[in-house]
Amino acid sequence: MARPEAVEHILRHAAPHELFDEVRQVLYRRYGAHAAELLMADYALDSLRPVTGAADGAEPVPVRTSAAGRAFGSQEAHVVARESEVTVHLPVSVRGDRLAVLSVDFPADAYAPGLLGELREVADALAHAILVADRDTDLFLRARRATRLTLAAEMQWELLPGRSCTRPEYALGGHLEPAYAIYGDSFDWSASAEHLTLTVNNGMGEGIDAALLTSLAVSALRNARRGGLSLVDQASLADQAVYGQYQGRLHLAMLLLRFCLRTGEVEVIDAGSPRIWRLRQGAVEAVELEAQLPLGMFEDTVYACQRFRVLPGDRLFFLSDGVYDVLSPGGEPYSRRALARAITNTRLLPPAQVPQAVLEELAGHRGGVRASDDAMVVCLDWHGRAGAEGPGDGAQDN
C-alpha cells in the first residue's frame, strides 16, 4: 500500500500539470484500481468537469443528480457497489474549500472498506497539491469552465480567497452570480490565531470598470491589514486609494468586520454596505448598523467602528444589492419576507452550500428575466471557542 506520506512525496516532485497522472498511477499500481477521474467543480457549482477532458471521452456530470455530486455536496466519501465493480467518489477539499471529486473504479474483488481511510488521505493530498499547482499551470482552472468567463469575471474570481472555509470557531461560504459574468461584487477573508477579518464589497459599474474598482479596494484593504493597521485605518487607506484613483466618480460599498474568535465580539464598519441578516434560534432578523459613506465617495472620510456580538449557533448572511433589487417577470421586488423564507429554508445546509441555494431561490423569483446586476451571498456559521466568554463586556448582543 502507498502510505499517505509517500503520495505527498510523489506529488511534491511531480510537474504541476502531471499531478493527477501521478495520483492515477498510484491508484492503479498500489491500490488495484482500474480507472480514475478527477472532476473539478465549475464556477457556477452546477457541474463536475473532468480534468482528463473530451479527448479521453469523459463528460461533465451534474452536481445535483450524480453519485460524484453526492460526495461533493456531503463532503463525505460515497461508495457505489455493483456486481463486478466498486466506484468510490471522494471529495477533494482544503480546509472546507470544495474543489473537486476524485472518482476511483475498482474490480469488486480488489476493494475492501478498509481502503477508504487511505483513499481519503490521497484525495486530501491531491487537494493541497492542486492549490499549489494553480500558481504554475492552467490545467485545473480550465477544467472548471463550462463556458468562457468574461474578463471581468476572470479578474473577480482570481481576487477571491476561495469559496468556503472552516475552522473550529466558524464555517464560511460565499458565491457570486452570474458566475461567468460577475461585475463588482466580491468578498475576502483572513484568519489569525485570535481573529477573523471578513470584507464584503459591492462596487459600482459593470464589466472591467467594476472589476478594476473592486480589485483596487480589496488590494488596498489587504495591504493595510497585512501592515497591521486597525480596522478604521484599513477602511481609511482603502477610501483614500479609491478616491485618489477616481476622484469620487466611482465608489464602493463595503462591510468590514473583525471577529474575536475567543469572545464572539465583532467590530464592524458599514460603509454604505451590503446588508447583514442573522438567523438565531429559528428567528430571522436584520442586524441594524449606522451606515457610513462608501469608500472613495469623498476625500478623507472619517470612519468609526460599531460593535455587536455573535453567539454560538448564530448564522449570519451578507447580501449585496443584486439580491434586493431583483424583480419578478411581473415587476414584483424580492421582498424581505421572501428573503427570510429563503434563509429559513436553507437552515439545515452547511454554509458552503447555502449561498448557491439562496441564489437559486432568487433566480426562481426572477423567472426568465435576465439579472440586471450581479448578486453575492456570504454565509457564516458561528460555533465559538470552547470556554469562550459570555455576553457582558460592553459589546451589544443585538
**Cβ(194)–Cβ(180) below 8 Å:** no
Q: In the chain, what percentage of residues exceed pLDDT 70?
A: 88
pLDDT at 393: 45
- Is the model's pLDDT at 302 over the cut of 80? yes
pLDDT given for residue 320 in this prediction: 85
Whole-number Å distance between alpha carbons of 209 and 183: 8
Higher per-residue pLDDT: 336 or 133: 133
pLDDT at position 370 over 60? no
| pLDDT number for residue 4 | 59
Query: What is the pTM for the complete model shown?
Result: 0.90
Quick one: pLDDT at residue 21? 94
145 confidence band (pLDDT: 50, 70, 90): very high
Tens of pLDDT, residues 329-355: 666 666 677 788 889 999 999 999 999
Asked whether the predicted pLDDT for residue 117 surpasses 50, the reply is yes
- Which pLDDT score is estimated for 395? 47
Q: What is the mean pLDDT of residues 151-173?
A: 95
Closest among 42, 73, 70 to 357, alpha carbons compared: 73
pLDDT in tens, 95-113: 999 999 999 999 999 999 9
Q: How confident is the model at residue 204 (pLDDT cuts 50, 70, 90)?
A: confident
Average pLDDT over residues 211-225: 96
CA atoms of 138 and 140, how far apart (whole Å): 6
Predicted confidence (pLDDT) at residue 61 exceeds the cutoff of 50: yes
Mean local confidence (pLDDT), 14-27 = 95
Q: What pLDDT is attached to residue 274?
A: 75
For residues 69-97, average pLDDT: 96
- What percent of the chain has pLDDT above 90? 77
- State the pLDDT at residue 1: 45
Please work out, in degrees rounded to the nearest 5, the angle formed at the alpha carbon of residue 43 by the alpha carbons of 66 and 91. 45
If 0-12 CB within 10 Å is exposed, 13-18 middle and 19+ buried, where does residue 231 land? buried
Cα 304 to Cα 139, 241, 268, 287, 299, distances in angstroms: 45, 18, 9, 17, 16
The least confident of 47-56, 59-68, 158-167, 377-386 is 47-56
Find the mean pLDDT for residues 38-52.
95
Q: What pLDDT score was predicted for residue 221?
A: 97
Can you read off the three cell numbers belonging to residue 214?
473592486
Query: In the predicted model, what is the mean pLDDT of residues 212-231?
Result: 97
Instruction: For residue 28, name the pLDDT band (cuts at 50, 70, 90).
Output: very high
Q: Does the pLDDT value for residue 392 go beyond 50?
A: no
Model confidence at 52, pLDDT cuts 50, 70, 90, reads confident
Question: What's the pLDDT score for residue 379?
Answer: 97
Q: Phi-psi bin for 28: left (phi > 0), alpha (psi -120 to 50), beta?
A: alpha
Distance CA 16, CA 3 (A): 21
